[in-house]
Amino acid sequence: MAIELSKLNKYFSVDKLIFHSVDLSLYQVSAIIDGQEHYVTNGKNQFLRAANVIDLQKLLKDVTAKESVLRHTSAYDEMVGGPEKTFSNLLEVPLADNKLY
């Protein structure tokens, strides 16, 4: 599911903002609202993307979230021919907005 940034700004609070590390310098963001994850889009129906987390934090500065995290899933094992995993190697760390923008 997706939600536009303008609509997300109207929520009093979201459960969690997730900044996804997609590639070396590519980040996307999703929000968990009432237990459902929604990828955040711009007004043109495109996912919000940025080359760094700070640019996304600037766009989301008006969104109040109970929790904010950076999430990364590594494809390293698959790239080097490792065995198929029976578990997720998802890494999720707390992320604060230090207002560096």
Closest CA to 61 of 44, 47, 48: 48
| Per-residue pLDDT at 79 | 60
Domains of the chain by residue range: 2-94
- Write the single-letter amino acid at 11: Y
pLDDT exceeding 90 applies to what percent of the chain?
A: 67
pTM metric for this prediction: 0.86
Count of positions (residues) in the chain: 101
pLDDT of 92 above 80: yes
Provide φ and ψ at 64, rounded to 5°.
-95, 125
Helix spans in the chain (H): 5-8, 53-59, 76-79
| Residues 48-71: tens digit of each pLDDT | 999 999 999 999 999 999 999 999
What integer best gives the mean pLDDT of the chain? 90
Contact assessment for residue 49 and residue 39, using Cβ atoms and an 8 Å cutoff: no
